[in-house]
């Protein structure tokens, strides 16, 4: 005799009894609490329970930083020419097309003009969801133009980094952007226009190795992964276990690599105060 007998032969898998809750709730990776998505958004995408800073897209970032959430986008029409005609598992041109479709952007960057507490500023915000926020020719050119625009108009500059580094699919063309952007920043510095670099989760590779660390102030959000090579690669190279919290904002601050770790809610007033201090009236 069977211990257990199923009444009907089939499991009822019809979707009628299901309630769709997908997208209304988010699980926090850090404290494992289930949070109502609206509560999270009202809290600037910071976990209300444990303060974990969720990743946000470029446009949300701009709206959070600039007055009334309003800004004017510029240089948004640049697109990659796929100079190497690169193909890995998929053609790079197809990846680009998919990312453009998914994000509504031409590449992993949004340049904007707007006001920060009444002061005209230029902001370049990276978009991590566009091929990992990687920097190819378009990101490099857009950031360079933003810097040049800041230099010409003497408007303080903010660059918000969120990037896996240089874009493999554009090879050496990506690496050239490091030098190009750094040179433009040197001219900005000579013109004595301030630049604040905001490093968000994650900022790695060639972006860390160039403009993200070249700010007059380099500030990071709490808990952001910031580094050049990833921890696994470093452990394998030096054959040592890395310390707890290695490559997180707080660790880097303790070791003199950053000027401050600033929670998202305080970013705007913090930067406004910094510009008050840095810009001669």
Query: Residue numbers of the site for Zn ion (CB under 5 A)?
Result: 28, 30-31, 47, 49-50, 52
Q: Decide whether 47 or 105 has the Cβ nearer to Zn ion.
A: 47
* Closest by CA position to 161, among listed 253, 28, 258, 40: 258
| Minimum CB distance to Zn ion, residue 224 (Å) | 15
**Beta 260-261 vs 217-220: how paired, if at all?**
parallel
What phi and psi, each to the nearest 5 degrees, are found at residue 164?
A: -85, -5
CA distance 82 to 97: 11
Nearer to Zn ion among residue 171 and residue 223 (C-beta): 223
Least CB distance to Zn ion at residue 30 (A): 5
Beta strands in the chain (DSSP E): 25-27, 34-36, 72-74, 109-116, 119-126, 157-163, 195-203, 217-220, 260-261
What's the CA gap between 59 and 79, in Å, rounded?
18
Least CB distance to Zn ion at residue 28 (A): 3
Three-state SS sequence of 237-266: HHCCCCCCCCCEHHHHHHCCCCCEECCHHH
C-beta of 260: minimal distance to Zn ion in Å? 23
Q: Which residue, 40 or 176, is less far from Zn ion as judged by CB? A: 40
Instruction: Report, in Å, the least distance between residue 45 CB and Zn ion.
Output: 11
Nearer to Zn ion, 30 or 64 (CB): 30
Q: Which is nearer to Zn ion, 30 or 43 (CB)?
A: 30
DSSP 226: B
């Amino acid at each position: 005799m069977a211990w257990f007998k199923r009444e009907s032969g089939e499991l009822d898998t019809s979707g009628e009894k299901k309630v769709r809750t997908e997208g209304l709730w988010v699980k926090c990776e850090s404290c494992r609490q289930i949070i109502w998505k609206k509560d999270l958004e009202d809290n600037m995408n910071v976990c209300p329970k444990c303060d974990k800073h969720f990743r946000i897209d470029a446009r949300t970032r701009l709206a959070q930083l600039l007055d009334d959430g309003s800004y004017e986008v510029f240089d948004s029409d640049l697109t990659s020419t796929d100079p190497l005609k690169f193909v890995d598992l998929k053609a790079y041109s197809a990846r680009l097309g998919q990312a453009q479709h998914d994000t509504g952007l031409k590449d992993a960057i949004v340049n904007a003009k707007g006001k920060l507490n009444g002061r005209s500023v230029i902001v370049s915000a990276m978009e991590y969801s566009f091929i990992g926020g990687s920097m190819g020719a378009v990101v490099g050119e857009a950031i360079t133009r933003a810097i040049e625009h800041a230099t010409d108009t003497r408007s303080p500059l903010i660059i918000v980094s969120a990037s896996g580094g240089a874009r493999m699919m554009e090879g050496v063309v990506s690496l050239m952007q490091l030098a190009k952007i750094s040179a433009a920043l040197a001219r900005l510095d000579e013109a004595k226009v301030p630049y604040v670099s905001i490093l968000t989760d994650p900022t790695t590779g060639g972006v860390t190795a160039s403009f993200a660390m070249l700010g007059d102030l380099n500030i990071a959000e709490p808990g952001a992964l910031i580094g050049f090579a990833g921890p696994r690669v470093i452990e394998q190279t030096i054959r040592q276990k890395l310390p707890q919290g290695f490559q997180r904002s707080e660790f880097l601050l303790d070791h003199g690599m950053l000027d401050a770790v600033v929670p998202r809610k305080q970013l705007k007033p913090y930067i406004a105060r910094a510009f008050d201090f840095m810009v001669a009236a």
